[in-house]
Structure 1
Amino acid sequence: MTAMADPGIRIRRDADLTSLNTFGVRVRAPWLVEAERADALPAAFAAAPLRGATPLVLGSGSNMLFVEAPTMPVLRLTGTDVRILAGEGDTALLYADAGVQWHALVMRSLELGLDGLENLALIPGTVGAAPIQNIGAYGVEVGQRIEAVHAFEPATGRMLRLSAADCAFAYRDSLFKQAPDRFVVTGVEFRLRRGGMPVLGYAGIAEELAARGIVSPRARDVAEAVIAIRRRKLPDPAVIGNAGSFFKNPIVPAAQADALLALHPDMPVFRAAEGQRKLSAAWLIDRLGFKGARDGDAGIAASHALVLVNHGDATGRQLLDFACRVAGAVRAAFGVALEPEPRLVGATWPTEA
């Protein structure tokens, strides 16, 4: 590893990324540039190997499938600063660097007496990745808690502070996902509350709390319930390679959902935007018998039908091919298109899948 003149930058050539993607795909990058501080980015982009390049920005690789090895330099932000910027009555503004591990931030916020992120406990990845994907779980999306996103724009050299409205958050989507090479997310501000009513309406949380004998749950109780549920349902990437939920829950017209419901009365259907319904991708996949299925080392987790897994030495191409096979079967059986949540490196999702 070499260092630039700025001590906040480290550069590695021919870098092994196997431990930097939770699928555990064996892949190398021509260059890996690690930046500890956001203010070091202008100098880093002005020098080799980033000068004139469009790097692949990588957090912990928990929302990425390397179908092919990257041909561009890879950039990681490693800063771990977490601090309260301001407190206003019942709320506070909490800032975190992009390199902070997401679950660590959730637990730190609870230690600080700040509620609002507890439903998002144990989601893998970093703070910087959270707004890109607009991560969500158990009735909460992170965009609902974000005040602003700090970002570097390589094309202009500007450091920006984008409001939540500027970020165009939608279901598993954002401005950053729509324009993946325009910004480098460097930090996030969260508007969190001190006390208040936790979000309990999503299936499973109330039952878990009741099983624990908790009648008046606090935010930490909700976090512990979510952690327990996720550990039961989702395989640990440290044990078997995966990126959590691989498929998005599809959004379809209400008329299509009604027609499917007439044929499959037990199919879960949820309200979405006006005139639309959200279907359970897990139910569709499970109904076709794919939960626990595998082809070589590529497969679907036995514990959850949304989770694509690497049982050992599957390549990114083998994992993608298996995912396409699953999606193709769902389309053929139900007329519903599935889309992946993770970013695909070196491939695009086929429209016929």
Structure 2
Amino acid sequence: MVVEKNVSLQRCNTFGIAARAQALVRVRSVADVQDVLADPRLARTPKFVLGGGSNIVLTGDVQALVLKVEIPGVRLVDETDKAWIVEAGAGESWHGLVAWTLQQGWPGLENLALIPGTVGAAPVQNIGAYGVELQDRFHSLDGIDLLTGEAFTLDAAQCAFGYRDSVFKHRAPEAQHGAPRGFGLAGRALITHVRLLLPKAWRPELGYLDLERKRAEASVEHPSAQQIFEWVCQVRRAKLPDPAVVGNAGSFFKNPTVSPEQCQDIIARDPKVVHYPLPDGTIKLAAGWLIDACGWKGKSVGKAGVYDRQALVLVNRGTPQASVSGGEVMTLARAIQTSVYERFGIRLEPEPVVV
């Protein structure tokens, strides 16, 4: 185990925000985590788990010990009559895993192609795109409790998945003497491995207009998983900036849900509002449309800007030498939230973790 000091994090977050870690350990195995927790100098030090950095906004230097998760490996751990169960190390590229499963002939993750970040971050956010969420393909995960040092395994129910939500985003309530009670793993869990269940009874998920358009253009009645993968990549590349070229954290706000009555009220004022009915009777609104309707597309605050092709994405308009600051990003985000609330009465909730 090597503890690196005063490490730049600019290349460790997809926004490209210039910040530094006071100390950083690269976690490439379970043993590396155990070594950190066994070291009396480090065991009680506050810790910050960092994966691909695709869903964070750094508002300053990180004082906590950064555990940079780089655990590798992908493998088939089981095969039944009904499914393949695939395991990946938490440090693997998520998109790389999606492409690898398709190369093996195991469909199911194609709608989740090109989502940036690592495998270990996927359950934290319950990533989702084009009608599929991680929880739809999830089997189980392994992790380590950074407070007790104990290893654990969680199934889908124990992860408490919700829309861009999980047990890893909530802290356990504290008892009178400061000990955690209840179930919440924010700030205390490091995911080491994730297992996915890919059903053999595969069927294409084409419920989104963009994919239906691609299917119609290609005149394909029954597309393969590989074709859907390629379509999703094409759509995402056309709409979203490549973080390697333009710093960003992907979709910055969650799509809000409203009651049918609230939706009808908005439609009465703005008939073109983009909305999707959900199985529970609520209506999901397109946050990007709400932001665009408020006139933010292409606008900037300092070096933070709203992407000119997709208003849901905030981007870094600085340079590597003079990057956007986390403060500028959050100033822009709050201004957008205020505009949307004043016009539509809806409070947008950011997706990234603000550090």
TM range (shorter): over 0.9
Check conservation: 2:74, 2:87, Cα contact below 8 A: yes
Give the percent of matched residue pairs that are identical in Structure 1 and Structure 2: 41
In the TM superposition, 1:289-308 aligns within 5 A as 289-308=295-314
Q: Are residues 1:175 and 2:181 paired?
A: no
How far apart, in 1, do the equivalents of 2:101 and 2:149 lie? 32
Q: Are residues 1:72 and 2:64 paired?
A: yes
Deviation at 1:47, TM superposition (A): 1.4
Which residue is equivalent to 2:36? 44
Q: Are residues 1:127 and 2:133 paired?
A: no
Q: Are residues 1:31 and 2:37 paired?
A: no
Q: Are residues 1:55 and 2:36 paired?
A: no
Deviation at 1:210, TM superposition (A): 2.4
Deviation at 1:211, TM superposition (A): 1.8
3-state DSSP of counterpart to 2:62: coil
Among candidates 139, 151, 157, match of residue 159 of structure 1? 151
- Name the aligned partner's letter for residue 209 of structure 2: A
3-state DSSP of counterpart to 2:32: helix
Which residue is equivalent to 1:231? 237
Which residue is equivalent to 1:350? none
Among candidates 326, 332, 351, match of residue 322 of structure 1? 332
Deviation at 1:273, TM superposition (A): 5.7
Check conservation: 1:91, 1:191, Cα contact below 8 A: yes
Deviation at 1:182, TM superposition (A): 2.4
5+ long unaligned stretches in structure 2: 172-185
Check conservation: 1:133, 1:174, Cα contact below 8 A: yes
Deviation at 1:121, TM superposition (A): 0.1
- RMSD of aligned residue pairs (Cα, Å): 1.3
Among candidates 313, 335, 342, match of residue 332 of structure 1? 342
- Name the aligned partner's letter for residue 335 of structure 1: G
Check conservation: 1:297, 1:310, Cα contact below 8 A: yes
Normalising by structure 1, we get a TM-score of 0.93
Which residue is equivalent to 1:85? 77
In the TM superposition, 1:187-266 aligns within 5 A as 187-194=193-200, 196-266=202-272
How far apart, in 2, do the equivalents of 1:164 and 1:299 lie? 37
Check conservation: 1:93, 1:190, Cα contact below 8 A: yes
Check conservation: 1:200, 1:206, Cα contact below 8 A: yes
- Name the aligned partner's letter for residue 205 of structure 2: V
3-state DSSP of counterpart to 1:204: helix
- Name the aligned partner's letter for residue 12 of structure 2: L
- Name the aligned partner's letter for residue 167 of structure 2: L
- Name the aligned partner's letter for residue 225 of structure 1: W
Deviation at 1:215, TM superposition (A): 2.6
- Name the aligned partner's letter for residue 141 of structure 1: E
CA spacing shift, 1:265–1:127, aligned 2, 3 Å: same
Deviation at 1:193, TM superposition (A): 2.4
Check conservation: 2:301, 2:331, Cα contact below 8 A: no
CA spacing shift, 1:272–1:39, aligned 2, 3 Å: farther
Which residue is equivalent to 1:351? none
Q: Are residues 1:277 and 2:274 paired?
A: no
CA spacing shift, 1:320–1:145, aligned 2, 3 Å: same
How far apart, in 1, do the equivalents of 2:65 and 2:337 lie? 31
3-state DSSP of counterpart to 2:24: strand
What per-residue deviation string (whole Å, max 9, x for no partner) do you get for residues 74-99 of structure 1?
10121211000000013111000100
How far apart, in 1, do the equivalents of 2:54 and 2:44 lie? 27
